């Protein structure tokens, strides 16, 4: 898919200042390479159940970039259970100023993430193990989670590694509040072009 076609599909997810910014054409070019790699790998290993390129752009790229546009001021981001790189890689592309770490314990997926970062010349760190094994001193300004397994334990583990905010891409009805002791829901934003998905932003209590 061309960078121009990708840019057109992503318009609903981003503010106009991003879409008209000087960095945006480069981001779309990088996303085009990322999409090609994802389709190539997905033909032989299960990275995503979504197969249509347009749907991958809207569902995976769009939701990830929507989260990226709401990160606010921060320096470090941990993408917990990154899978095929969502939302971590689009965050890194849109915010090259950030130090992004992708945590993914499945070997094939971690290998895919390494290839993407190599092809796109990204400085992104790949932590190829479970977050539970990450040293406690590894702390991040923001931790993102999307479609993680074992939700309760994942959010509890994420809370141990975050300084400021947890950003969860989930259904609007998903209740996370009970497993995030010490955090308060700052904002819940409906994700464009979806019926039930939301970005939930939790901030640490002071």
Strands 125-127 and 140-146: unpaired
Taking 90 as the threshold, does the pLDDT of residue 170 lie above it? no
Output the CA–CA distances (angstroms, integers) from residue 116 to 32, 36, 145, 203, in the order listed: 11, 10, 20, 31
Render the burial of 140-159: b for 16+ CB within 10 Å, e for the rest. Answer: bbbbbbbebeebeebbebbb
Per residue in 84-108, pLDDT (tens digit) is 999 999 999 999 999 999 999 999 9
Structural contact between residues 102 and 82, judged by C-beta atoms closer than 8 angstroms:
yes
Assigned superfamily of 3-204: Vaccinia Virus protein VP39 (3.40.50.150)
Q: Are 101 and 158 in contact (CB under 8 A)?
A: no
- Is residue 155 pLDDT above 90, yes or no? no
Across 31-40, 60-69, 78-87, 141-150, least confident range: 141-150
154: pLDDT confidence band, cut at 50, 70 and 90? confident
pLDDT, position 196: 83
Give the mean pLDDT of 9-34: 97
pLDDT of residue 175: 67
Residue 125 has pLDDT above 90, yes or no: yes
Which tens digit of pLDDT belongs to each residue from 175-199? 666 667 789 999 999 999 887 889 9
- 191: which DSSP letter? P
35-65 residue pLDDT tens: 999 999 999 988 998 999 999 999 999 999 9
pLDDT (0 to 100) of residue 153:
81
- pLDDT for 41 equals 96
Look at residue 147 and tell me whether its pLDDT is greater than 80. no
The predicted structure's pLDDT at residue 150: 74
Residue 151 has pLDDT above 80, yes or no: no
pTM, full prediction: 0.95
The answer to whether residue 121 scores a pLDDT higher than 90 is: yes
């Amino acid at each position: 898919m061309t960078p121009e076609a990708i840019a057109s599909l992503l318009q609903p997810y981003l503010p106009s200042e991003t879409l008209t910014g000087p960095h945006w054409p480069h981001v779309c070019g990088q996303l085009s390479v990322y999409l090609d790699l994802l389709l190539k790998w997905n033909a032989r290993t299960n990275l995503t159940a979504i197969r249509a390129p347009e749907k991958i752009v809207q569902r995976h790229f769009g939701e990830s970039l929507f989260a990226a546009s709401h990160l606010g001021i921060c320096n470090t981001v941990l993408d917990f259970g990154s899978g095929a790189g969502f939302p971590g890689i689009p965050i890194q592309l849109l915010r090259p100023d950030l130090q992004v770490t992708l945590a993914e314990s499945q070997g094939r997926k971690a290998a895919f993430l390494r290839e993407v970062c190599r092809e796109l010349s990204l400085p992104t760190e790949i932590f190829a193990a479970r977050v539970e094994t990450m040293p406690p001193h590894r702390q991040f300004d923001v931790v993102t989670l999307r479609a993680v397994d074992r939700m309760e334990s994942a959010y509890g583990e994420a809370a141990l590694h975050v300084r400021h905010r947890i950003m969860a891409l989930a259904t609007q009805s998903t209740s996370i509040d009970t497993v995030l002791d010490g955090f308060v829901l700052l904002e819940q934003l409906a994700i464009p072009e979806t019926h039930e998905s939301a970005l939930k932003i939790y901030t640490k209590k002071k």
